Amino acid sequence: MGARGSVATTAITGLLALRAGLVRPVGCVTERLDIDHSVLPAWDDIAVGGHDIVSTPLDKRAEHLAAAGLIPHSVVSAVADGLRAVDAELRCGYHPVTHTGPQAAAVARLTRDIEDFRTRNDLARVVVVNVTSTEPPVPALPEHDDLDLLAAALEDPQRTVLPASSVGALAALTAGASYVDFTPSPGIKIPALAELAHRNRLPYAGADGKTGETLVRTVLAPMFTARALNVRSWAGTNLLGGGDGANLADPAQARGKLESKARGLARLLGDDVTAPLHIDNVATLGERKIAWDHVSFEGFLGAQMSLQFTWDGYDSALAAPLVLDLARLVSAAHADGQTGPLAALAFFFKDPLGTDEHRFAEQTRMLADWAARLGATE
Amino acid sequence: MGARGSVATTAITGLLALRAGLVRPVGCVTERLDIDHSVLPAWDDIAVGGHDIVSTPLDKRAEHLAAAGLIPHSVVSAVADGLRAVDAELRCGYHPVTHTGPQAAAVARLTRDIEDFRTRNDLARVVVVNVTSTEPPVPALPEHDDLDLLAAALEDPQRTVLPASSVGALAALTAGASYVDFTPSPGIKIPALAELAHRNRLPYAGADGKTGETLVRTVLAPMFTARALNVRSWAGTNLLGGGDGANLADPAQARGKLESKARGLARLLGDDVTAPLHIDNVATLGERKIAWDHVSFEGFLGAQMSLQFTWDGYDSALAAPLVLDLARLVSAAHADGQTGPLAALAFFFKDPLGTDEHRFAEQTRMLADWAARLGATE
Amino acid sequence: MGARGSVATTAITGLLALRAGLVRPVGCVTERLDIDHSVLPAWDDIAVGGHDIVSTPLDKRAEHLAAAGLIPHSVVSAVADGLRAVDAELRCGYHPVTHTGPQAAAVARLTRDIEDFRTRNDLARVVVVNVTSTEPPVPALPEHDDLDLLAAALEDPQRTVLPASSVGALAALTAGASYVDFTPSPGIKIPALAELAHRNRLPYAGADGKTGETLVRTVLAPMFTARALNVRSWAGTNLLGGGDGANLADPAQARGKLESKARGLARLLGDDVTAPLHIDNVATLGERKIAWDHVSFEGFLGAQMSLQFTWDGYDSALAAPLVLDLARLVSAAHADGQTGPLAALAFFFKDPLGTDEHRFAEQTRMLADWAARLGATE
Amino acid sequence: MGARGSVATTAITGLLALRAGLVRPVGCVTERLDIDHSVLPAWDDIAVGGHDIVSTPLDKRAEHLAAAGLIPHSVVSAVADGLRAVDAELRCGYHPVTHTGPQAAAVARLTRDIEDFRTRNDLARVVVVNVTSTEPPVPALPEHDDLDLLAAALEDPQRTVLPASSVGALAALTAGASYVDFTPSPGIKIPALAELAHRNRLPYAGADGKTGETLVRTVLAPMFTARALNVRSWAGTNLLGGGDGANLADPAQARGKLESKARGLARLLGDDVTAPLHIDNVATLGERKIAWDHVSFEGFLGAQMSLQFTWDGYDSALAAPLVLDLARLVSAAHADGQTGPLAALAFFFKDPLGTDEHRFAEQTRMLADWAARLGATE
Ligand SMILES: NC(=O)c1ccc[n+]([C@@H]2O[C@H](COP(=O)([O-])OP(=O)(O)OC[C@H]3O[C@@H](n4cnc5c(N)ncnc54)[C@H](O)[C@@H]3O)[C@@H](O)[C@H]2O)c1
Ligand SMILES: NC(=O)c1ccc[n+]([C@@H]2O[C@H](COP(=O)([O-])OP(=O)(O)OC[C@H]3O[C@@H](n4cnc5c(N)ncnc54)[C@H](O)[C@@H]3O)[C@@H](O)[C@H]2O)c1
Ligand SMILES: NC(=O)c1ccc[n+]([C@@H]2O[C@H](COP(=O)([O-])OP(=O)(O)OC[C@H]3O[C@@H](n4cnc5c(N)ncnc54)[C@H](O)[C@@H]3O)[C@@H](O)[C@H]2O)c1
Ligand SMILES: NC(=O)c1ccc[n+]([C@@H]2O[C@H](COP(=O)([O-])OP(=O)(O)OC[C@H]3O[C@@H](n4cnc5c(N)ncnc54)[C@H](O)[C@@H]3O)[C@@H](O)[C@H]2O)c1
Ligand code: NA
Ligand code: NA
C-alpha cells in the first residue's frame, strides 16, 4: 500500500538492483543477522505488487528520486524494465475521498487484488506493507472493538467506519496476508483487526518505521539512564521535504507522527522531561530530512550540560531496506506459524506493537535472539 | 593519586555532600544498580586519602571549581570543614622530575603512606584511583615484563624505569590495595604490574574514564552497525580548558589519550573509517569540555548521509561520580575475592582492560550482570 | 516599565557595577563608539526608576539571576545597597487585568510618577524603556489613529482601548519623556502615539531588542545576498526559559515576537524563502536561550549546500547593556532636539521603527554616522 | 593555471552552461553588481585556455564532478563539445619536480603559450588565474626582492629560485597578462613580481579565494566587535575531500592555508583569541567541505556564551563563479588602466592583497563603489 511513494519506489528499485547484483545490501539488516539464511525468502524469491491512489509510473517516480540525489541515475536506467514489470502488478488503492458505496466493497476489491496477485505469481505467502501517507488518529468507535459490529457497519454505504489504512489492513488479513505498518496511521491498531489477525493465525508488525531522529533517540536516551544523568529537556525539530513533508505540513496529519515520537521518549525517560517537537515542511530539501535535537541534562552536584545532534539523511534510503527486511522477516514468521504482534521486531519501529521496549540496544538483541530461533521449530 | 586535581576535588566534595544529604546522587551509577546494596561500601564508610605533587589546599581548589561553575558555592561552604579534614590525609606524591635516588625508595614511601592510611582509619580495604595528569606512552623495556628484573632495576639510582603512574600502581599493589586507572597513562598496563596484582590476589580496573565524546561514540557506533549502515568517516574535535586541557596541549602527553580514543572507534567500526581526532587546549573554557563529532555514512543505494553532535559538558562533573562508583565496585570485588582486570567494569572506560567489548549497551549489561552476582558467593 | 524583570534587573545591577568600577563595559556599544563622549550621559549621571506589576524586591531578583549563572554572586553582594535604593524608586505599574475605572486615570497616575521621579532626582530628561512581558498584537481601532478620539475613549470606564504597553508609552510622552520599545508589543506603534511624540517634540526608538538569533540572521543573510547565493529555506527553533520563556509559551503572546522575527528575514531575503520558526518554553534552561538555525542554499550549477548555527546565550546579559546604551543615546537625541522615530538606532532592534534597513553592517554604519553627528548642532 | 582541477573544471563547465543559457548565474557576483555592465566582458566574449601538469581530459573531469554531485549530469552532457574545444587550448604546465634546466626556460615557454593563446583567439587581454594545488610557504631569498637578481638566478640550471606558482605569475606578467591568485601559494607575493606588475602596468588580485569557513568568519567576527562582545576563543575544524583535501593532508602544504586563515581572524579580533584550526583530509566526502566553528565569548557582567556553526558546501561550486567574476573584473581593471594590487577585490579573498580590510560588509561596499567607477574614466 502506497506502492508509488518514495519509500516504496526506493525499496522496489533497490530490490531489483540487489537482484541484479548492482549494489551491496547496505542498510539491509537481514543480511547481517547471524542466522540460518535459508529461513528468509531470497531476494530472487520476492515478487512485488501493490496499491496506490496515484498513477505516476514507477520508472518516472524512480527518475524523480534520482534527480533528488536519492538513487543513482545508473541504477534507475539499469532496472527500468524491472520497474515497468512491477508497475503492471500495481492496482488502484482505496481512496477515502472519492470512494462511494459501502466500505465493504472496497475491502472486497482489495482482498481480491491480493489473492489474485498471490495466485498469478504462484506465491507461498504475501506480506502487505503499509507505506501510504500518514493519516491522523481517528476517534474510537464501538465497531472498532468488535469484528461482527464492524462487518455490519462496513456494509452501510452512508458510513465511513474505517480510515484508509485500516481498510487496507482488513483486506490483507482477509486475504490471508500478514501485515506490516510502517506508518503511525491507525492501520491494524483497530482492536477488531488485531482480533482478526489472531483468528486467521496471521502475524503482523508495526508501527511507524524508525529511521532517523527517533532511531538516534532510542540509542542516546538509554545512555543517560545508564549513567544516572538527569535529562531535563529534549527538544526536536524536523525539516523535511518530499511527499511525507507535504503531507505532514498539515497539523492534523502530523499529530499521529508527533504522538508516536513523543510516546517513545516518555517511555525511555519518564514524563517529566520538557520535550517540544516540531515537524516542518521544507519542500526545497527534496527527499532529505534534517533533524536537530537538543538535550539538556544535569550531572553530579547540579552541573548543567547539553548534547545536541543534527541528522541529515535521505529518509527513504533509510526506510527502504527496512521495508525489504520486514517483508522477509514477517514472511518467515508467517511460515513459522507465529501469530499476532511480533514484538521482536520493535527494532524497526518508533511505536512498537506488542512491547514497550524502546531501548535500541535491547531491541537489537531481541531481534537477534528471535531471528536465531526462526525456523528452529520446523 | 592526583588528589588535588579537578576530578579528585569534585569527587571528594561530592562524597562529603552526599554524606551530608545536600545533593542527590545524580551521575552515580551504583545508586541505580538493581542489586543488594549491602555489598557496596556506604558513602559513610568511605575514608579519603591521597597523593598529589602540588599543595594547593583542597578547599581552595573547590572554591576555584565553584567559580568555574562546576560546583555550587553553597555546597563548597557547607563541606569546607570536611575538605580540610581530608586535606590532612593527603601526602606528597612521587614527582618524576624532582625525585632523586632509586625509584624503589619512592615506591616504598608511597606504599607506607597507603598502609598508614589504612591503619590510621581502620579500613578493611583501600582502592587507589589514578586521577593524575595524563602521561605519554612509554617505550617498552625488558624490565616491564618481569617482576624480578623490575625490582632490581628500581634499585638503580641512575635509572627511571617506570613512569609516575606505574610507580603509584606498584605502591598500591605492594600495599595490598586494589587499583583503578582513570587515565590513559601506562599505570598498571606494565605487564609486570599485572603479574603482581595476580600474585597479590588483587583486582584492578581501567583504563581512561569514559565521560564525554567517547561515551557517545560507544553508544552511536553500534547503532550504525546494527542497522548495516556503512560509516565512512568519523571526525572529532575536543576543546577543553582546565588542568587537563593545559596538560594535553602538549602533543606528547595527548598521544596516549588520542590513541586510547582511536582504538575504541576502530574496534567498533573496523579500521577503514577515516577518523581524524583533535584535542585543543582552550583555557578560556575553564572546566568545560566541548566536543564536536561529524560522522558521514552511506545507506541503501549509496545515499550519502551524516550525523553530527556537539557535547558541552563539565568533564569533572561527569568523572567524579564514576570515581566514587569505581571505588565502591572495586572494593566490593576485592572483598569478593576477585583478582586481575575487572572486564565487567568496561562500562566506565575508553580503553577497557580485560575485554575488547566497546559497545556501551553490552557494557551496561555486563556491569548489571556482574554487580548482581557480587557477594553472591559469600 | 517592567523594572523587576530579568532584563531590567540585569541592566540596573550592571549600571551599579559599572559605576562602582567592578566590571568592564563588555557589551556596551556606546563605550566603543568613536564620538565625543560628552554628548552622552555618564554612568554616574543616570538615575533609575520604573514601574512593574510584581513586587519582588530587586535584590531578591538579582540573587535569583546570580543563582541562574547570569550575574556573579560577588557583584550582587557588592551592589545590594544600590539595588535597594533603586527599589525605593519603583512604582506600581498599570495592570491590564486588575485595573478598574477609565484607562485615562492609569495614564494620569503613571504620568505623575514619571514627573515626580524627574523632579525628585533633579533630572534634565527621562527615557522610558519598555521591558515588560511581550503582549500579543491588538486589532486596530479608529481611536488608535486619532489623538482626540483616543483621549475621549480613554475616559470611558467600560472600555479597554489601549494595551498596557501603550498605556505606558502614552504616559511617558505625556510626561515629556522619550521612549524606547525593547519589546515587540504595540507600545508606541499605535499611530496616535507617534503623532503625540511629534507634537511633544520627543524622539523614540524601537522595536524589539535584537540580541540573539535575529542578530546573527541580520549578519548572515546579507552575506548570501552579496555572494549571489540563493537561500531556499531558513528554519529556526528557539528554546528559552525565564519569565520570557514562560510568557511566550502562550502562542498568543508569541505571535508578535514571531511576526517581528519573520518580517526581518523576508525583508532581507525576499518572500520566497521557506522559513518555519518556533519558540519553545524550556523552563529548565533558566535564563539561557538556545537557538538553532538551518539555512539551505543553492550555489552555482544548482549545488545544494547548508549552513547551520547554534546560539547559546544569556538573553538578559545581551539585552541589558543595550538597554543602557539606548537610554544614553535616546537621551542625547532628546537633548539634541531630535523628534520622532530614530531610524539610526535600527542596529538595536529586530523590527526597526523609521527604517526598513535590516542589514546589520549597514545599521552599524548608520549608528556610527549618526552618533558622530550627535551634539554637533549644539 | 591548474586548468584541469575541480575549481577550474567547474568554472569552465559553468561558463559554457551560462553561455548556452542552461543555468542561471547563481553565485556570480558580477551579475548583481549595480553597474554599467558594458564595462565587463560578456560571457560570450571570454575564451578559456590554461596550463596543468596532468592530462585527464576536461570532459572526464567534469563527469567525475557530476558523479560527486557537484554538477548536474545533464549540464555536462550538454556542454561536452565545448569542454573538448577548451581542452584543445590547454597546455602542459611547469612541473616543479620533473622540470630540468634553468627555470627561465620554463618561464619563457609559459609566456609564449599565453601570447599564442591571445593571438590565436584574437583577444584584447588575458587574465591568468592561479587555481593550482596550494604550495607551502617558501623561505625568502635576496633574489625575491630584486628583479635583476631574479632574472640572473633563473638562468642558473642548478637552482630552483621560484616556486611553481611564481613561475606562472612571472610568465603571466611577462606576457602582459593580469594575474589573480586564488590560492595561498607564494605566486605574485614575491616582491620582485609585484615590482614587475608595476613596471608592466598590470593589475593583479589575491590571495586565496574566500568561499566557506573564512567567509562566514569575516561576516560574524565584525558582529561581535560591533556589539562590544569579548570573543575569547574561536576554534575551527575543516573536513574536506577532493584534490584539495588530498593535497592539504600534507601538513607542509596546509601551512600556507592555515596561516592565511589565521591572519584574517587575528586582524578582525586581535591576537588574544585562542584559535586552534585544523584541516583534515576526509576523502570519502568527495567534493564537499564541512567546517565546524565554535566561538566562545563573554558578555555583560562576565556571562559566558557561545556560537557554533557548521558549513556544508561544495567548495568548487562556491569558488567557480568567483573565478569567473575575477576574470571579468580584473580584465575590466586592466582595460581601465589600473595597476598593482586591486584592494577593492578583497571581497573575494581570505588574505587580501593591497589592504588589511577583512570585514566582509566593508569589502562588499568597497567592491560596489569600485565597480561603479569602473570605466568611468574612459
Ligand atoms: N524514513 C521514512 O521514510 C519513514 C519513516 C517512518 C514512516 N514513514 C512513513 O511512510 C509513509 C510513506 O512515506 P513516503 O516518503 O513514501 O511518502 P510519499 O508521500 O512519497 O508516498 C506515499 C504514497 O502513498 C500513496 N497513498 C496515499 N493514500 C493512499 C491510499 N489510501 N491507498 C494507497 N496509497 C495511498 C500516495 O499516493 C503516495 O504514493 C509515510 O506515512 C511516512 O510517514 C516513512
Ligand atoms: N572526564 C574527565 O575529567 C576525565 C575523563 C577521563 C580521564 N580523565 C583523566 O583524569 C586525569 C585528571 O583529570 P583532571 O581534570 O582532574 O586534571 P587536573 O590537571 O585538574 O588534575 C591532575 C592532578 O594530578 C596531579 N599530579 C600530576 N602528577 C602527579 C603525580 N606524579 N603524582 C601525584 N599527583 C600528580 C596534579 O598536580 C593535579 O592536581 C587526567 O589524566 C585526565 O586525562 C579525566
Ligand atoms: N534578549 C532579551 O532578553 C530580549 C530581547 C528582545 C526583547 N526582549 C523583551 O524584553 C521583555 C522583558 O524580558 P525579560 O526577560 O526581562 O522578561 P521578564 O518576564 O523577566 O520581565 C518582564 C517584567 O515585566 C513586568 N510586567 C509585565 N506586565 C507589566 C505591566 N503591564 N507593567 C509593568 N510591568 C509589567 C513583569 O512583572 C516582569 O517583571 C520581554 O518582552 C522580552 O520579549 C528581551
Ligand atoms: N573553494 C575552493 O575550492 C577554494 C577556495 C580557496 C582556494 N582554493 C584553492 O584553489 C586551488 C585549486 O583547488 P581545487 O579544488 O581545484 O584543487 P584540485 O586539486 O582539484 O586542482 C588543482 C589542479 O592544479 C594542477 N596543478 C598542480 N600543480 C600545478 C602546476 N605546477 N602547474 C599547473 N597545474 C598544476 C593539478 O594537476 C590539478 O589539476 C587549491 O590551491 C585550493 O586551495 C580553492
Ligand atoms: Na580492551
Ligand atoms: Na592584506
Per-domain boundaries in chain C: 6-209+317-373, 213-314
Closest CB from D69, D310, D312 relative to A69: D69
State the sign of the Cα–Cα–Cα–Cα dihedral D276, D279, D284, D286.
positive
Whole-number CA gyration radius for chain B: 21
Please state the rounded mean pLDDT for residues B105-116: 98
Closest CB from B274, B282, B286 relative to D235: B282
A244 lines ligand 1 (CB under 6 A): yes
Q: Which residues have CB under 6 Å of ligand 3? A: C 1-2, 4-7, 51-54, 93-96, 131-134, 164, 182-183, 208-209, 211, 242-244, 247, 315-316, 318-319
A245 lines ligand 1 (CB under 6 A): no
Residue with cell 567494569: B345
SS (H, E, C) chain D: CCCCCHHHHHHHHHHHHHHCCCCCCCCCHHHHCCCCHHHCCCHHHCCCCEEECCCCCHHHHHHHHHHCCCCCHHHHHHCHHHHHHHHCCEEECCCCCCCCCCHHHHHHHHHHHHHHHHHHCCCCCCEEEECCCCCCCCCCCHHHHCHHHHHHHHCCCCCCCCCHHHHHHHHHHHCCCEEEECCCCCHHHCHHHHHHHHHCCCEEEECCECCCHHHHHHHHHHHHHHCCCEEEEEEEEEEECHHHHHHHCCHHHHHHHHHHHHHHHHHHHCCCCECCEEEEECHHHCCEEEEEEEEEEECHHHCEEEEEEEEEEEHHHHHHHHHHHHHHHHHHHHHCCCCEECHHHHHHECCCCCCCCCCHHHHHHHHHHHHHHCCCCC
Closest CB from D274, D286, D292 relative to B283: D274
Q: Residue B378's pLDDT band (boundaries 50, 70, 90)? A: very low
Say which CATH topology domain D213-315 has. Answer: Dihydrodipicolinate Reductase; domain 2 (3.30.360)
> Is pLDDT at B376 greater than 80 in this prediction?
no
CA B287 – CA B284 distance, rounded (Å): 9
State the sign of the Cα–Cα–Cα–Cα dihedral B281, B282, B287, B291.
negative
Shortest alpha-carbon distance between residue C177 and chain D (Å): 27
pLDDT reported for residue D377: 57
CA C130 – CA C188 distance, rounded (Å): 10
Please state the rounded mean pLDDT for residues C271-277: 88
**Residues D296 and C292: beta-carbon distance below 8 Å:** no
Closest CA to A294 of B131, D314, C193, C308: C308
Closest CB from B70, B219, B306 relative to A303: B70
Does C195 contact A at CB distance below 8 Å? no
Closest CA to B106 of B246, B222, B1: B1
% pLDDT > 90, chain B: 88
Q: Which residues pair with C69 in a beta bridge?
A: none
Count Cα neighbours of D376 within 13 Å in the Cβ-side half-sphere: 7
Ligand 2 centroid – CA B2 distance (Å) = 6
State the sign of the Cα–Cα–Cα–Cα dihedral A63, A69, A73, A79.
negative
Q: Which residues of C touch D301 (CB under 8 A)?
A: 10, 13-14, 17, 23, 26, 70-72, 75, 317, 320
Cβ contact (<8 Å) for B237 and D235? yes
Closest CB from B10, B306, B361 relative to A361: B361
pLDDT reported for residue A377: 57
Phi, psi of C370 (to 5 degrees): -65, -45
Q: What is the CATH number of domain A213-314?
A: 3.30.360.10
Ligand 2 centroid – CA B9 distance (Å) = 10
A338 lines ligand 1 (CB under 6 A): no
Ligand 3 centroid – CA A322 distance (Å) = 50
> Is pLDDT at A65 greater than 80 in this prediction?
yes
D51 lines ligand 4 (CB under 6 A): yes
% pLDDT > 70, chain C: 99
Domain D6-209+317-373 has CATH 3.40.50.720: yes
Shortest alpha-carbon distance between residue C104 and chain B (Å): 49
> Is pLDDT at C377 greater than 80 in this prediction?
no
Does B276 contact C at CB distance below 8 Å? no
CA distances from C190 to C139, C162, C169, C196, C350 (A): 11, 9, 10, 10, 18
Does B307 contact A at CB distance below 8 Å? yes
> Is pLDDT at A276 greater than 70 in this prediction?
yes
Torsion of CA B37, B40, B42, B45, to 10 degrees: 150
Does A73 contact B at CB distance below 8 Å? no
D334 lines ligand 4 (CB under 6 A): no
Cβ contact (<8 Å) for A285 and C308? no
CA B90 – CA C300 distance, rounded (Å): 65
pLDDT in tens, A202-244: 999 999 999 989 999 999 999 999 999 999 999 999 999 877 7
The residue whose CA has the least distance to atom 29 of ligand 3 is C132
Residue B161 DSSP symbol: -
Shortest alpha-carbon distance between residue A332 and chain C (Å): 42
Task: For the beta carbon of residue D226, count every other beta carbon within 10 angstroms.
Answer: 22
Give me chain B's average pLDDT, please: 94
Interface mutation vs chain A, best among C274, C277, C281, C287, most A CBs within 10 Å: C274
Torsion of CA A265, A270, A274, A276, to 10 degrees: 20
Q: Residue B223's pLDDT band (boundaries 50, 70, 90)? A: very high
B287 lines ligand 2 (CB under 6 A): no
Question: By mean pLDDT, which of B134-148, B293-307, C253-267 is the weakest?
Answer: C253-267
Q: For chain B, positions 202-261, list CB contacts with chain A under 8 A.
A: 215-216, 219-220, 222-223, 226-230
Please state the rounded mean pLDDT for residues A249-266: 78
% pLDDT > 70, chain B: 99
Alpha carbon of residue C311 to chain centroid: 20
Give me chain C's average pLDDT, please: 94
Ligand 6 centroid – CA D180 distance (Å) = 15
Task: For the beta carbon of residue D195, count every other beta carbon within 10 angstroms.
Answer: 16
DSSP letter for each residue of C232-273: EEEEEEEEE-HHHHHHHTSHHHHHHHHHHHHHHHHHHH-TTS
Q: Which residues of A touch D312 (CB under 8 A)?
A: 312
Burial grade of B272 (CB within 10 A; 0-12, 13-18, 19 or more): exposed
Task: For the beta carbon of residue B369, count every other beta carbon within 10 angstroms.
Answer: 10
CA distances from D248 to C161, D237, D241, D352 (A): 67, 13, 9, 21
- As given in the structure block, the three cell numbers for residue B218 are 560507544
CA geometry: angle at B242 spanning B237 and B248, to 5°? 50
Closest CB from C70, C303, C347 relative to D70: C303
Cβ contact (<8 Å) for A223 and B230? no
Shortest alpha-carbon distance between residue C339 and chain B (Å): 45
Residue with cell 522559513: C275
Closest CA to D330 of D25, D115, D40: D40
State the sign of the Cα–Cα–Cα–Cα dihedral D143, D147, D152, D153.
positive
The verdict on whether omega for the bond into residue B207 sits within 30 degrees of 0, i.e. cis, is yes
Shortest alpha-carbon distance between residue C5 and chain B (Å): 24
Does D294 contact B at CB distance below 8 Å? yes
- As given in the structure block, the three cell numbers for residue D45 are 566574449
> Is pLDDT at A171 greater than 90 in this prediction?
yes
Q: Which residues of chain D, if any, have pLDDT below 70?
A: 377-378
Closest CA to C114 of C171, C167, C156: C171
With a CB cutoff of 8 Å and minimum separation 6, the contacts of B96 are B160, B163, B164
Q: Which residues of B touch C310 (CB under 8 A)?
A: 310
Q: At what angle do helices B315-335 and B6-19 cross, to 10 degrees?
A: 70
With a CB cutoff of 8 Å and minimum separation 6, the contacts of D98 are none
Please state the rounded mean pLDDT for residues B344-359: 96
Phi, psi of C179 (to 5 degrees): -145, 140
Which of A31-35, B105-109, D251-255 is predicted most confidently?
B105-109
Which stretches of chain C are assigned E, i.e. beta strand?
A: 50-52, 90-92, 127-130, 178-181, 203-206, 230-240, 277-281, 288-298, 304-314, 340-341
Does A77 contact C at CB distance below 8 Å? no
CA D192 – CA A359 distance, rounded (Å): 68
Closest CA to D295 of C309, C240, A305, C296: C309
pLDDT reported for residue B185: 95
pLDDT reported for residue B80: 98
Does A278 contact C at CB distance below 8 Å? yes
Cβ contact (<8 Å) for B69 and C69? yes
Q: How far apart are the first and last CA of chain B?
A: 31
Residue A234, helix vs strand vs coil: strand
Burial grade of C303 (CB within 10 A; 0-12, 13-18, 19 or more): buried
Phi, psi of A27 (to 5 degrees): 90, -10
**Residues D211 and D348: beta-carbon distance below 8 Å:** no
CA D176 – CA D331 distance, rounded (Å): 12
Interface mutation vs chain D, best among B213, B233, B279, B290, most D CBs within 10 Å: B233
CA distances from B291 to B132, B184, B236, B315, C263 (A): 22, 18, 7, 11, 35
Q: Which residues pair with D257 in a beta bridge?
A: none
pLDDT reported for residue A376: 73
Cβ contact (<8 Å) for C300 and D321? yes
* A74: enclosing H helix or E strand: helix A73-78
Taking the CA of D61 as reference, the closest ligand is: 4
Does B69 contact C at CB distance below 8 Å? yes
- As given in the structure block, the three cell numbers for residue A353 are 506493537
Which one has a higher pLDDT value, D272 or B101? B101
CA A221 – CA A231 distance, rounded (Å): 9
Burial D162-176 (b: 16+ CB within 10 A, else e): bbbbbbbbbbbbbbb
Q: Which residue of D has its CA nearest to C316?
A: D300
Q: Are strands D340-341 and B288-298 parallel, antiparallel or unpaired?
A: unpaired
pLDDT reported for residue D317: 96
In this structure, chain D runs to a length of: 378
B51 lines ligand 2 (CB under 6 A): yes
**Residues C87 and C57: beta-carbon distance below 8 Å:** yes
For a ligand 4 pocket test, name from D244, D261, D315, D345 the mutation site with the most ligand atoms within 8 angstroms of its C-beta: D244
Q: Which residues of C touch D12 (CB under 8 A)?
A: none
Ligand 1 atom at shortest distance from the alpha carbon of A54:
37
> Is pLDDT at B304 greater than 90 in this prediction?
yes
CA B53 – CA B133 distance, rounded (Å): 11
pLDDT reported for residue B377: 57
Q: Residue C378's pLDDT band (boundaries 50, 70, 90)? A: very low
